[in-house]
Amino acid sequence: MGRGKIPIKRIENQTTRQVTFSKRRAGLLKKTHELSVLCDAQIGLIIFSTTGKMCQYCTEGYRRQKVSGTCIPEHDNREHLYNELAVLRKETRRLQLSMRRYTGEDMSSIPFEELDQLEHELERSVIKVRERKV
């Protein structure tokens, strides 16, 4: 769809990825809305970008699915749970980005100024590994 065809795999260029995200998210929200109206269906859609931004669509009567098999403490408040989820999600995202940085998986998103520093960090890690080996 568009001037060229693109393979369905993670878009490496960060700028392109962001642009595509915005466009396709808008498209997805529109299609979601259309399906719910045309076919009178209940739909819930929630999207998180890599930057952690969230957006969602849900119809009035939308109900989430029930999962069984987990033990739940009697007393607890959901607000607390939601907060914990938010914190954990943020931390997970941070760790994912750090890992990508270290494995060189998403080199394109790293500013040139930071490359030297990253190189040194990696070299230090290599040295530590070698020390451990002897």
Partner DNA sequence: GCGCCTATATATAAGAG
Partner DNA sequence: TCTCTTATATATAGGCG
Q: What residues from 56 to 95 belong to the interface with a second copy (CB under 8 A)?
A: 56, 61-68, 70-72, 75-86, 88-89, 91-92, 95
Number of residues lying near DNA (CB under 7 A): 20
Q: Which listed option, DNA, a second copy, none, makes contact with residue 55 (CB within 5 to 8 Å by class)?
A: none
The DSSP letter of residue 8 is S
Give yes or no for residue 30 binding DNA (CB under 7 A): yes
Tell me the C-alpha distance between 12 and 107, whole Å.
9
- Give the Cα-Cα-Cα angle 123, 114, 86 (nearest 5 degrees): 100
Q: Which listed option, DNA, a second copy, none, makes contact with residue 60 (CB within 5 to 8 Å by class)?
A: none
Q: What residues from 5 to 24 belong to the interface with a second copy (CB under 8 A)?
A: 6, 8-11, 17-18, 20-21, 24
How large is the C-alpha radius of gyration of the chain? 21
Take residue 10 and report the two structure tokens written for it: 């993670």
Provide the mask over 39-58, with x wherever binding to a second copy is found by CB under 8 A and - wherever it is not: xxxxxxxxxxxx-x-x-x--
With a CB cutoff of 8 Å and minimum separation 6, the contacts of 32 are: 43, 45, 57
Q: Which listed option, DNA, a second copy, none, makes contact with residue 47 (CB within 5 to 8 Å by class)?
A: a second copy
Tell me the C-alpha distance between 134 and 132, whole Å.
6
Cβ(83)–Cβ(91) below 8 Å: no
Shortest distance, position 46 Cβ to DNA, whole Å: 17
Residue bearing tokens 């998986």: 105
Judged by the rule CB under 7 A, the positions of this chain that interact with DNA are 1-6, 15-16, 18-20, 22-24, 26-28, 30-31, 34
